């Protein structure tokens, strides 16, 4: 018969085992995912172990690869997925994972395709889907954020005025989502006090203060703007809570970003409601002794819906107006129009790793997000009333004279989510009216890493991404083939583009 001491030891051992299983097991437990497939939209690494120990990397997973999912943490919105690479994209890094390889991959890098048909008959009347946790998340939760301190860099905060995913390690929101209607706009004066430390954050987390920005040279940049919440003093004040704020260059915040905010409110005044998602991406430096990240770019996506009764998702069509922008968080946007920085929702997804409009049916969502970063620019947005119709048919206009090529470097993705070697690239844009032959041109960084362009022509109005990694060149992508990342994550760097004679054409510094 065991002694009381022996019984106590056994009980203690059982409790320790139970606690270890609770702490180290995936939460929630993996469940079957109906053999879903997923297409990789942002490269990553496949791992041999599950989320409890994601240490052994098998190799590179590339944008466009497909994975058949057999287990996920939460079906449809998960942190980790287990499955087999079932199809490969046409080109990628030579160290890529082979088709048929099985392992775990972070689903922040994936977009789930439609689930396989259920094996059991559907009920005659489908059960209604659960309503979103907030009106501000009606079109989806871009990162599957949860209000759980165990997810410190994807921590969901829902307020009456907006919802957001907070990143503790960056000290800024990963995204903020909000709805704007005429009832949100009033005559309330702008809150005039200091920006507000968010005391609702879990105990032990660093809480950004107003003074962390003081003297930094950066604005305290609202994501959900104060101007969208003028119906009451409390609503306006809530936008000054620092979890809704990130360091923004004055040229960005007070220039085209502010223009777009004003234009958004004009759209509301014209009889529309808006669903907006915004955030910052990348990193160019930190403030507050590393606790507060200054993003390299800011981005925003706006869905414009004419006022009407009914659920927003059911009123969306492939023709619904969507406005997307990506702006460098530097001095470059000074005196520029916001329309210069328009892009597509799909391109924002590629650059951020988020799943935008995830609650929207797939066929409509695909149309609304548009093409990826390497495709043609989105249609121009009309920001003024069209001219009155002419009383007589006008004479045919003479074709415009072709303008010269104009090469610029709009931005560098130097600190992408995940592995730098997967997502690091320089964007080159020809905003002129003539093609540019780049054969023999060079691009170099401050440390004198030099890329020499092969036989290549960049069409008028086109963009090309120069990836640090290796791969197969095409019209929209060139590959440097470097063995390690080139662009500094901290301390800044400079990219210099020179023509074949060695003359500097443009440079970009961050």
> Could you tell me if residue 379 is inside a domain?
no
Residue that is last in its domain, among 341, 369, 397: 369
Residue 224 is assigned to a structural domain of this protein: yes
- Residue 348, pLDDT score: 92
DSSP bridge pairs for 301: 277, 324
Mean pLDDT of 223-243: 97
State the CB neighbour count (10 A cutoff) for residue 384.
Answer: 5
Q: Is residue 392 scored above 70 in pLDDT?
A: no
Q: Cα separations (Å) of 494 from 85, 217, 487, 507?
A: 37, 20, 8, 7
pLDDT band at 502; cut points 50, 70, 90: confident
Q: What percent of the chain has pLDDT over 70?
A: 76
Confidence class of residue 230 from pLDDT cuts 50, 70 and 90? very high
Of 190, 284, 281, 171, the residue nearest 228 (C-alpha): 190
Task: Indicate which CATH number applies to the domain containing 72.
Answer: 2.30.30.40
Do 104 and 141 share a structural domain? no
Q: What is the CATH number of the domain that holds 164?
A: 3.40.570.10
> Is the same domain home to 361 and 293?
yes
* CA separation for the pair 377, 370 (Å, rounded): 10
The DSSP string of 134-171 is SGGGTT--TT--BS-TT-TTSEEEE-SS-EEEEETTTT
Confidence class of residue 378 from pLDDT cuts 50, 70 and 90? low
Residues 340 and 284 in one domain: yes
Q: What is the pLDDT of residue 23?
A: 37
Task: Look at residue 238 and tell me whether its pLDDT is greater than 80.
Answer: yes
What single-letter DSSP state applies at residue 261?
Answer: H
Q: Which of 42, 136, 179, 222 is catalytic?
A: 222
Asked if the structure places residue 13 within a domain, the reply is no
Q: 122 in a domain, yes or no?
A: no
274 & 324 share domain: yes
Looking at the fold, whether 235 and 342 belong to one and the same domain comes out as yes
179 is catalytic: no
Reported as a pLDDT band with limits 50, 70 and 90, residue 197 is: very high
Assess whether pLDDT exceeds 60 at residue 398.
no
> Between the CA of residue 241 and those of 100, 152, 190, 279, 471, what are the distances in Å?
48, 18, 14, 15, 44
Cis peptide preceding 493, ω within 30 of 0: no
CB burial of 147-165 (b: ≥16 within 10 Å; e: otherwise) equals eeeebeebbbbbbebbbbb
- 298 with 208, same domain: the answer is yes
> Mean pLDDT, to the nearest integer, of 27-46?
57
pLDDT tens sequence across 112-163: 665 443 333 333 333 334 445 689 999 999 998 999 999 999 999 999 999 9
pLDDT of 166 strictly over 70 = yes
Tens digits of per-residue pLDDT, 348-362? 998 888 999 999 998
- Do 106 and 140 lie in one domain? The reply is no
Structure token digits, residue 409: 């470097």
pTM above 0.75, yes or no: no
Residue 72 token pair: 């996920």
Whether the per-residue pLDDT at 261 is higher than 90: the answer is yes
In a domain, 400, yes or no: no
User: How many C-beta atoms surround the C-beta of residue 33 within 10 A?
Assistant: 24
Q: Is 88 helix (H, G, I), strand (E, B) or coil?
A: coil
DSSP 348: H
Domain limits at 277? Answer: 135-369
Q: Same domain, yes or no, for 185 and 327?
A: yes
Tell me, yes or no, whether 343 lies in a domain.
yes
If DSSP codes are grouped into helix, strand and coil, which group holds residue 497? strand
H or E stretch at 47:
strand 44-47
Q: How many domains does the chain have?
A: 3
Shared domain check, 302 and 225: yes
**Backbone phi and psi for residue 100, each to the nearest 5 degrees, phi listed first:** 95, -5
| In a shared domain, residues 194 and 283 | yes
The last residue of one of the domains, among 339, 369, 399, is: 369
Task: Reply yes or no on whether the pLDDT at 287 is more than 50.
Answer: yes
- 5 occurs within a structural domain: no
Is 281 strand, coil or helix? strand
Judgement on whether residues 193 and 55 belong to the same structural domain of the protein = no
Look at residue 112 in the predicted model and tell me its pLDDT: 62
Instruction: Output the domain CATH number for residue 484.
Output: 2.60.40.1260
* Mean pLDDT value across the chain: 81
Q: Are 289 and 143 part of one and the same domain?
A: yes
305 token code pair: 């819906």
Residue 375, domain member (yes or no): no
Contact between residue 384 and residue 270 where contact means Cβ atoms under 8 Å apart: no
């Amino acid at each position: 018969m065991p002694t009381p001491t022996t019984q106590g030891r056994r009980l203690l051992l059982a409790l320790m085992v139970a606690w270890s299983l609770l702490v180290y097991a995936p939460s929630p437990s993996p469940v079957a995912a109906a053999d879903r497939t997923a297409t990789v939209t942002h490269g990553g690494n496949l791992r041999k172990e599950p989320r409890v120990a994601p240490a052994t990397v098998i190799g590179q997973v590339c944008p466009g690869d497909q994975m058949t999912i057999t287990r996920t943490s939460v079906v449809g919105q998960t942190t980790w997925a287990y499955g087999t690479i079932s199809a490969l994209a046409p080109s990628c890094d030579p160290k890529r994972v082979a088709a048929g390889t099985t392992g775990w991959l972070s689903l922040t890098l994936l977009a789930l395709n439609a689930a396989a048909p259920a094996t059991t008959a559907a009920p005659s009347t489908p059960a209604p889907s659960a309503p979103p946790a907030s009106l501000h998340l009606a079109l989806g939760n871009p990162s599957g954020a949860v209000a759980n301190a165990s997810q410190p860099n994807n921590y969901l905060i829902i307020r009456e005025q907006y919802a957001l995913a907070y990143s503790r390690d960056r000290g800024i929101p990963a995204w903020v989502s909000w709805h704007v209607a005429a009832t949100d706009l009033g005559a309330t004066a702008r809150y005039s006090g200091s920006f507000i430390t968010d005391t609702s954050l879990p105990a032990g987390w660093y809480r950004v203060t107003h003074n962390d920005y003081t003297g930094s040279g950066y604005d305290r940049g609202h994501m959900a703007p104060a101007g969208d919440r003028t119906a009451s003093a409390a609503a306006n004040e809530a936008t000054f809570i620092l979890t809704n704020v990130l360091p923004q260059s004055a040229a960005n915040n007070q220039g085209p970003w502010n223009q777009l905010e004003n234009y958004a409110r004009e759209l509301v005044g014209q009889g529309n409601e808006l669903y907006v998602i915004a955030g910052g991406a990348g990193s160019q430096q930190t403030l507050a002794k590393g606790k507060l990240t200054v993003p390299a770019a800011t981005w925003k996506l706006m869905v414009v819906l004419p006022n009407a009764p009914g659920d927003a998702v059911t009123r969306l069509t492939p023709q619904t107006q969507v406005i997307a922008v990506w702006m460098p968080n530097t001095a470059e946007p000074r005196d520029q129009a916001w329309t210069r920085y328009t892009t597509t929702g799909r391109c924002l997804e590629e650059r951020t790793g988020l799943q935008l409009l995830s609650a929207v049916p797939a066929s409509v969502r695909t149309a609304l997000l548009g093409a990826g970063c390497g495709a043609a620019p989105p249609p121009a947005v009309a920001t003024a009333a069209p001219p009155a119709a002419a009383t007589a048919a006008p004479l045919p206009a003479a074709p415009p004279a072709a303008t010269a090529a104009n090469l610029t470097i709009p931005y560098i993705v130097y600190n992408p989510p995940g592995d730098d070697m997967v997502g690091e690239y320089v964007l080159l844009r020809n905003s002129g009216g003539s093609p540019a032959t780049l054969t023999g041109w060079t691009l170099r960084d401050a440390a004198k890493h030099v890329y020499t362009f092969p036989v290549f022509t960049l069409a008028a109005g086109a963009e090309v991404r120069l990836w640090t990694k290796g791969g197969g060149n095409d019209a929209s992508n060139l590959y440097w083939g470097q063995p390690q990342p080139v662009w500094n994550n901290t301390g800044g760097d400079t990219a210099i583009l020179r023509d074949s004679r060695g003359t500097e054409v443009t440079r970009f510094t961050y």
